[in-house]
Structure 1
Amino acid sequence: MYFFREMVSRFNMDKKNEKIGFKGRVCTQGLWDESIPDIQFDEFGISSYAKTFQRMLDYYPRGEKGLQEWLSFVDKMKADGKGKKYDCIVGVSGGTDSSYLLHITKKYGLRVLAVYLDNGWGSDICVKNIKKLVDPLEIDFESYVIDYQEVIDVLKAYLRAEFPWADGPTDHAIKSILYKTAARENLKYIINGHDFRSEGFQPNEWTYTDAKQIRYIANKFCKRSLKSFPTMSIWKFGYYSFLKKIKLVRPFFYLPYTKKEAKDLLKATYGWEDYQGHHYENVFTKFIISYWLVEKFGIDKRKITYSGQVMTGEFSREEAFSIISEKPFTLDSIERDITFVIKKLNMKRDEFDTLMAIPGKSINDYPSYLPLITRFQKVVFPLIKRLLPDKPLMFFQLEDREKTGKGFVSKS
């Protein structure tokens, strides 16, 4: 009788969840649901993602211990920067995280070179926001411009490949130019504004991108051989990390940080302007997050973002549910975005509509370095721990899946 009542209760809850944009069971600790790859629940309704997230919180404590960890990085950066023009590189986008990061690095007396990837998709707000920070803080600024046609072909290829995270090449290009610039300046530190507490950690199936994948998709779907588009092979990354000893440091893993407080400070101090959405400072990124992923793949990355903020107390679970119950776009605004994107990509509307109507692909459908990483993770993980000051978040996921016999399958 109890089992029957439990099944009826769960069925009713699942139907209720579907009405507000959720699939099946929802984690009792956050908003992770059954739309998320390889999610598992225990008898208390706590998901495997919540447990991995808690492990990250324990691994990267804030408070006094976190502050001391950050201060030790500051000392190392200043020591390594002696005799050089800069202590570190900071990638900037005009968004909340990277803007506040400039404020933080200046506060701790670091000499920074700010680097911006200009791929032709940045909004006017993002460019203005960068200027509002670098000018008063007297930070040197460098813009890396990619050949526009290459950008168009790569992004168009990812749409034609029906790949979920079609903006992955942009993320990869940013990382590539930061390492390339650090090597050019003979610097050992790149400062990154990612904060898993306020952004969560995305499933690798939703976000993984690498140079092998980019080159394959660009060639297959747009016959494009890349020349100016920045990529970094796994071997080049090893060169930068092992031989050049370049390290990626994430201050927000250690220092107190919330987006709301950061936005308030940026607005009051620098006249910074909000762009009303996570990574909406880039037009293509906004389109992919708010529409392409949601409507074609049923992927709502806000579930990940708000789950992290619920577990850290920035939002109540009820507040987060209320936000997620509304689509991340309005019909009027998304129609303008679609028209803008396909025009800029020189894509016909019929082709785009066809792509939206057919089932999408996944990371399993295209070659990448991921099979190599997973196959040799027992060798790679200890090496990475020696090379990097921060443990990559994808490794937490790989480790936890290995315990349950789960993993990733992808073409090599």
Structure 2
Amino acid sequence: MTKKEALQRSSDWGKPPHENVRYCVRCCMPETSEGTVYDELGVCRACQSSEQKMHIDWAARERLLHETLEHYRAKAGDNYDCIVPISGGKDSAFQLHVLVKKYGMKPLAVTFSHNWYSPTGKRNLWNILDKLSVDHLMFTPARGLVNKVARQSLHAIGDSCWHCHAGVNAFPLQVAVMYGIPLMVWGESSAEAGNKNSYSDEVKFDRSYFDRVSTKARIDDLLCDNIERRDMYPFRVPLQEQLDAMGFHGIFLGEYIFWDGERQTEFLKEEYGWEEDNVEGTYKRYKSVECRMPGVHDYAKYLKRGFGRATDHASQDVRAGLLTREEAFELIKEYDPKRPDMLDYYLEITGFSEDEFEEILKSQRKGPAASFK
């Protein structure tokens, strides 16, 4: 039996939610996922990266990480060694632990608050900052602005969270320029779960990267009668000339150390008392636990593309060997279609009716998703 035949046979395990949609033959990612590309065997890029991950010389990568951190520590002098964007979620908490405890770095932790923090998220954030004794800056946009942008976001990008997509990158970059701190350290590699690159692709963190990958829409696309350009300063990425002048450099820790979200979460719980909680739209209790609204974001994706957060998480678990493809599809069918309770809040702050909410998203369907009922 050829490898292609074996993969095609294995793809029969489990019945996917949509019969007229193509799925990765290894995991559960549908072709309606933005940027999805399959190879000649029908394997998605995230699965290809997962296989590649097992053949990386992680010891060599970690030596390169050490050299990189030492280089920027030497340049920092009396300044902070790096900036760590932190939400209080598992990834940013773990990256802060690695930098402080393992490498002895002096980071400045920077938080863009989406103004939708959950009580659990607040506790996790303050707890890790306190236990690691790290200096911290936080910016919180006005509730009224968040509400207005959340409404425009649905039209502009088909989800509720443009202000978060934009702010979590723009504000730490603004701080980097203001404080003259050229090194920014993120956590999980984008090759871990997405379709944007592999472990062999170098990510160039220039202004176009943040505009293209993170925000998906420009500030101009959000402006309207009650949102002025001056309101949108928190979401502006610094000019490329400013980033170049300071020698800005960004890295993902997940490109240098073997990233295992399950083990890292267990470590954080035992070492720091990090808390899990129920999260709407998924069976995972540790992903996006810091936010009250991920269920709305993911339900919007389900209405627009036919899959939600449970598909993302179940596919990762299939790649990690934690679920069979059949088990994953059963979880997907249970969790993805669920209407989140927080949708009531979103409709209240935006003024949409539920019918309007659904029609806006359905109007943005493309390709195979256009045939969804």
TM-score range, shorter chain: 0.7 to 0.9
CA-CA distance at 1:330 after TM superposition? 4.2
**Residue segments in structure 1 that go unaligned for 5+ positions in a row:** 1-5, 364-412
Q: Deviations over 1:173-215 (max 9, x none)?
A: 11111111112221111111233354334699xx94549x342
**Residue segments in structure 2 that go unaligned for 5+ positions in a row:** 198-208, 278-284, 367-373
TM-score w.r.t. the length of structure 2 is 0.78
Q: How has the CA–CA distance of structure 1 residues 347 and 62 changed in structure 2, closer, same or farther, with 3 Å as cutoff?
A: farther
SS in structure 1 at match of 2:254: helix
Partner of residue 145 from structure 1, selected from 140, 149, 158: 140
Q: Indicate the percent of aligned positions where both proteins have the same amino acid.
A: 19
Work out the CA distance in 1 between the residues paired with 2:165 and 2:46: 23
Residues 84 and 110, structure 2, Cα contact 8 Å, conserved in 1: yes
Q: How has the CA–CA distance of structure 1 residues 166 and 116 changed in structure 2, closer, same or farther, with 3 Å as cutoff?
A: same
SS in structure 1 at match of 2:235: coil
TM-score w.r.t. the length of structure 1 is 0.71
Counterpart residue type for residue 76 of structure 1: H
SS in structure 1 at match of 2:157: coil
CA-CA distance at 1:76 after TM superposition? 1.5
What does 1:147-186 correspond to in 2, within 5 Å? 147-159=142-154, 161=155, 163-186=157-180
Residues 218 and 225, structure 1, Cα contact 8 Å, conserved in 2: no
Work out the CA distance in 2 between the residues paired with 1:13 and 1:302: 20
Partner of residue 88 from structure 1, selected from 64, 82, 89: 82
Paired residues in the alignment total 337
- After the TM superposition, list the runs of 4 or more consecutive aligned residues in structure 1 that deviate by more than 6 angstroms: none
SS in structure 1 at match of 2:229: coil
Q: How has the CA–CA distance of structure 1 residues 209 and 104 changed in structure 2, closer, same or farther, with 3 Å as cutoff?
A: closer
Aligned to 1:71: 66
CA-CA distance at 1:42 after TM superposition? 5.3
Q: Deviations over 1:268-320 (max 9, x none)?
A: 1111111325324212333212x111124424354445444544545544443
Counterpart residue type for residue 295 of structure 1: L
Aligned to 1:321: 329
What does 1:307-346 correspond to in 2, within 5 Å? 307-313=315-321, 315-328=323-336, 330-331=338-339, 334=340, 336-343=341-348, 345-346=349-350
Aligned to 1:353: 355
Instruction: Give the helix-richer structure, 1 or 2.
Output: 1
Partner of residue 102 from structure 1, selected from 96, 115, 133: 96
Work out the CA distance in 1 between the residues paired with 2:309 and 2:239: 27
Q: How has the CA–CA distance of structure 1 residues 269 and 89 changed in structure 2, closer, same or farther, with 3 Å as cutoff?
A: same
Work out the CA distance in 1 between the residues paired with 2:219 and 2:332: 35
Aligned to 2:229: 225
Work out the CA distance in 1 between the residues paired with 2:105 and 2:292: 31
Q: Deviations over 1:303-351 (max 9, x none)?
A: 44544454454554444334323224645xx2x31122222x2525x3x
CA-CA distance at 1:223 after TM superposition? 4.4
